[in-house]
Structure 1
Amino acid sequence: MSSINPSRSRLESLVKQFAPDEPVVMLNLLRFREDAEYADEDNESPCSGREAYARYSKLALNQLAKVEARPEWVGEATVPVIAPDDEDWDEVLLVRYPSAQAFLSMVSDPEYQAIVHHRTAALADSRLIAMRPKKT
């Protein structure tokens, strides 16, 4: 079963798990569609999933800046050394947010909502995992 967008209950859980001023790093695992699947009402030109995600990424950088978040690392996923046989990812992305609330503010912002259709059209599957440093 593919997972593209977060549920309300998962977003609520995220905010409860982190202190108000605690930074959060989001691990993004991305699998692109061969061809982006835009809705008719999106009025977007046809493209590959990677191209649709590039459209999203270009616009999302401004949204990240608005909440003082930043990409930490972006790379190509290659060999799934330990994973189920049918689990492959195309790209991995780490994004640092100043807080879980900053992430929630970004994804609920109308300007972000106006661009997220590129991400939805681009992805066949994804994972978004909130992380914090391990306390020793």
Structure 2
Amino acid sequence: MEAVSPTPEQLQKVLADTPKDQPIVMLNLLRFREQANYKDESTDRTGREAYSLYLKEAADCVKAVGAEVIWSGHSVGSLIAPPDESWDQVLLVRYPSIDAFMAMIETPEYKGVVKHRTAAIRDSRLVANLEDHS
């Protein structure tokens, strides 16, 4: 099943289940559209180009809440996955807390740039992760 944005129910569940005082790393698995699909404008951008624009414009929003991209790269293939599952890009973003992530996605600045992500993405996964402390 293709998914582009979290549902309110998914956000609430992760928010409720995640300790508020620990850093969280968001794993982004991304599959791009061939052509970006904007609701309110026509463009010649590819999905990858629209996502690059999203990353550039969202960078200040990420920094403003104390978060950072800790790794970004392209996928070369899955060793363990359903045969039809593939990803174009993988991104890891560390936030100081789940509250910092939620604060970021609620800002007017972020809401103004997320249209590029929505236009770019055909399918995605966003997985919240806590570091194990052994």
TM range (shorter): over 0.9
Q: Show CA shifts across 1:66-114 (max 9, x none).
A: 1110000001101111111100000000000000011011111111011
Return 5+ residue gaps in structure 1 as ranges. none
d(CA) in 2 for partners of 1:68, 1:46: 34
Q: Taking structure 2 as the reference length, what is the TM-score of the superposition?
A: 0.95
Contact 2:36-2:43 at 8 Å conserved across structures: no
Aligned in 2, Cα 1:44/1:54: closer, same or farther, shift over 3 Å?
A: farther
Other-structure match for 2:28: 28
Other-structure match for 1:9: 9
d(CA) in 2 for partners of 1:115, 1:44: 16
* Structure 1 residue 46 displacement after superposition: 2.0
Give identity over the alignment, percent. 46
Across the aligned residues of Structure 1 and Structure 2, the Cα RMSD in angstroms comes to 1.1
> Structure 1 stretches (4+) deviating beyond 3 angstroms?
none
* Structure 1 residue 17 displacement after superposition: 1.8
Other-structure match for 1:117: 115
Q: Show CA shifts across 1:13-64 (max 9, x none).
A: 122122222110000000000111111x2x3532100000001000111000
Q: Taking structure 1 as the reference length, what is the TM-score of the superposition?
A: 0.94
Structure 1 segment 1-136 matched on structure 2, within 5 A: 1-39=1-39, 41=40, 43=41, 45-136=43-134
Return 5+ residue gaps in structure 2 as ranges. none
